[in-house]
């Protein structure tokens, strides 16, 4: 689904007008995905300088609440998406894993910046840095940059929305295919 289709087709379904109102024809999975993607609550989680860019994205100038991300939650129980904004060190990895496990399904992960993607500037000659957060938890969207600009984070969040709208969640796919 490209952006143009998104604008032309804001709601997944057809409305058939009748004299007393209308009839809505849609698929419930599409409606659920539409609702989920437009109300993604990020977890307050930042481990280094990417977090400053993330805060900037939340500020009035970039204003990620335009897309439904405004309710940053300080508890994983109420968050839908975790933005890994910064370096993950070996000591932080079990904490990140625990936060992810505490989030309710469906949950999504964005790896923001070089450190969260691959270890970035700390890939070589470092004893303490995890070489990519995807060694710890599964990642949905990666963003390049050190740190990425707020526009890049917004683009990643919109990409995640498209991903959610395009199909099933990870848990649904797992349940459909028994191991």
Partner 1 sequence: MTNDELKIKLSELVPTIAFEEAAVQAIPPGWLNVSVEPKDWHGFAKSLRYQPELSFDYLFCETCVDWKTHLTMVYHLESTQHRHIIVIKSKLDRNKSDIETVSDIWKTAEFHEREVYELFGVNFLNHPDLRLLILPEGWEGRNPLRKDFEDPVNVVKL
- Does 56 bind partner 1 (CB under 8 A)? Our answer is no
Shortest distance (Å) from residue 80 CB to partner 1:
31
Of 74, 127, 177, 178, the one binding partner 1 by CB under 8 A: 127
- Does 128 bind partner 1 (CB under 8 A)? Our answer is yes
Side-chain-facing half-sphere of 46: CA atoms under 13 Å: 14
Q: What whole-number distance in Å separates Cα of residue 33 and Cα of residue 73?
A: 21
Give yes or no for a contact between 112 and 54, defined as CB atoms under 8 angstroms apart.
Answer: yes
Shortest distance (Å) from residue 43 CB to partner 1:
24
- Does 126 bind partner 1 (CB under 8 A)? Our answer is yes
Q: Give, as one character, the DSSP assignment of residue 103.
A: S
- Smallest CA-to-CA distance from 152 within 65, 61, 62 is with 62
Within 10 A of 55 (CB to CB), how many other CB atoms are there? 15
Give yes or no for a contact between 110 and 93, defined as CB atoms under 8 angstroms apart.
Answer: no
- Does 90 bind partner 1 (CB under 8 A)? Our answer is yes
Q: What whole-number distance in Å separates Cα of residue 32 and Cα of residue 11?
A: 11
Q: What whole-number distance in Å separates Cα of residue 143 and Cα of residue 141?
A: 7
Shortest distance (Å) from residue 51 CB to partner 1:
20
Q: Which residue's CB is nearer to partner 1, number 131 or number 162?
A: 131
Q: Which residue's CB is nearer to partner 1, number 55 or number 92?
A: 92
Shortest distance (Å) from residue 85 CB to partner 1:
21
- Does 48 bind partner 1 (CB under 8 A)? Our answer is no
Q: Which residue's CB is nearer to partner 1, number 132 or number 150?
A: 132
Binding site for partner 1 (CB under 8 A): 90-91, 123-128, 131
């Amino acid at each position: 689904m490209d952006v143009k289709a998104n604008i032309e087709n804001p709601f997944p379904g057809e409305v058939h007008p009748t004299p007393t109102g209308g009839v809505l024809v849609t698929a419930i999975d599409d409606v659920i995905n539409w609702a989920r993607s437009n109300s993604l609550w990020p977890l307050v989680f930042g481990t280094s300088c990417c977090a400053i860019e993330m805060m900037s994205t939340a500020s009035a100038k970039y204003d990620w609440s335009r897309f439904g991300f405004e309710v940053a939650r300080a508890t994983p129980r109420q968050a839908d998406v975790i933005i890994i904004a910064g370096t993950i060190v070996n000591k932080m990895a079990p904490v990140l894993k625990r936060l992810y496990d505490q989030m309710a399904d469906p949950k999504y992960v964005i790896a923001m910046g070089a450190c969260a993607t691959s270890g970035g500037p700390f890939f070589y000659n470092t004893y303490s840095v995890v070489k990519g957060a995807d060694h710890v938890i599964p990642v949905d969207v990666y963003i390049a940059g050190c740190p990425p600009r707020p526009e890049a984070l917004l683009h990643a969040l919109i990409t995640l929305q498209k991903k959610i709208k395009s199909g099933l969640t990870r848990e649904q796919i797992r349940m459909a295919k028994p191991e």
